Amino acid sequence: MPSGFGPNRCRSKRMNDITALPRIDMAKVSRDPLVPAASQLSADEFARQWNPGLENDNETLEDELKKLPGMTQADVHFMVRFFENPESRFALKGAVDLFNHDCIHIILGRGVQNQDEAFVIGFTMGNTKQLGFWEGTFFRIVSRYFYPKEYRFNREEIRILKLAIQFGLHCSASKIHEVNFQSLLYDKLGDIRARLKIDKEALYEIYAQERMILPNSDASQRLPHRPALSEST
């Protein structure tokens, strides 16, 4: 499946709300030993509460994963699995399973609203460094017009998808879809980012650009920003 597709994209059904809540169908959330409390929240509450950010270098990957509800690939609509499941013969470049997609959300400091999904998916696709023009165009068309309504990206989210593809393509990190995050569960997030060449300064810059594109969205209001000098000293 393409760039970290399946996971969080499918955490919720799309809600026609100004805040563009994430694709979390809480009725389908599975109980997972790593994620005890989160599944008690409604999709609305979860979307607004879970936002890992980038100021968590001393926390472990497992620390953040414990805050997420669990899902299985079977919970995902068959059409989405057709293009995004890494086991599918039609999967696009950058395919990752649900677990790895969640980890990429955390590494990039992104929540689970649709705009966040667009960025994470676009970044993972572009970060393969092998995404062809036709493949990116094909996914934009399918995810905009042909996916079930609750899974579609709107026009603004497609702009973020394109921004993230270019960022993933040109940033220092490479092939994040191939990372074995299971082996990094107990490592600190700061160490993981350094090992993967995920540059927080570059993320602050691209998120500033994203805020300029969509200044009024709920997800943009929560994007990580460079700490003020007083906060970092």
pLDDT in tens, 150-191: 888 999 999 999 999 999 999 999 999 999 999 999 999 999
Is the separation of the CB atoms in 76 and 86 below 8 Å? no
Residue at token pair 């809480």: 26
Burial of 108 (0-12, 13-18, 19+ CB in 10 A): buried
- The torsion angles phi and psi of 12, rounded to 5 degrees, stand at -150, 155
67-93 mean pLDDT? 67
Task: Say whether pLDDT at 226 is over 80.
Answer: yes
Cα separation, 160 vs 214, whole angstroms:
9
Joined together, the tokens standing for residue 127 give: 């970060």
- Contact criterion met (CB below 8 Å) for 30 and 70: yes
The conformational region for residue 94 under phi > 0 = left, psi -120 to 50 = alpha, else beta, is: left
The residue among 12 and 54 whose pLDDT is bigger is 54
What confidence category does residue 134 fall into, taking pLDDT thresholds of 50, 70 and 90?
confident
Q: What is the pLDDT of residue 170?
A: 96
- Number of alpha carbons in the 13 Å side-chain half-sphere of residue 70: 10
Query: What are the residue boundaries of the structural domains of the chain, listed by start?
Result: 6-232
Structure tokens at 201: 């300064």
Q: What is the pLDDT of residues 99-108, one digit of tens each?
A: 899 999 999 9
Report the alpha-carbon distance of residue 95 to residue 126 in Å, rounded.
11
Confidence label for 67 from pLDDT (cuts 50, 70 and 90): confident
Helices (H), 114-214: 114-126, 133-141, 155-170, 189-196, 200-213
Q: What confidence score (pLDDT) does residue 86 get?
A: 67
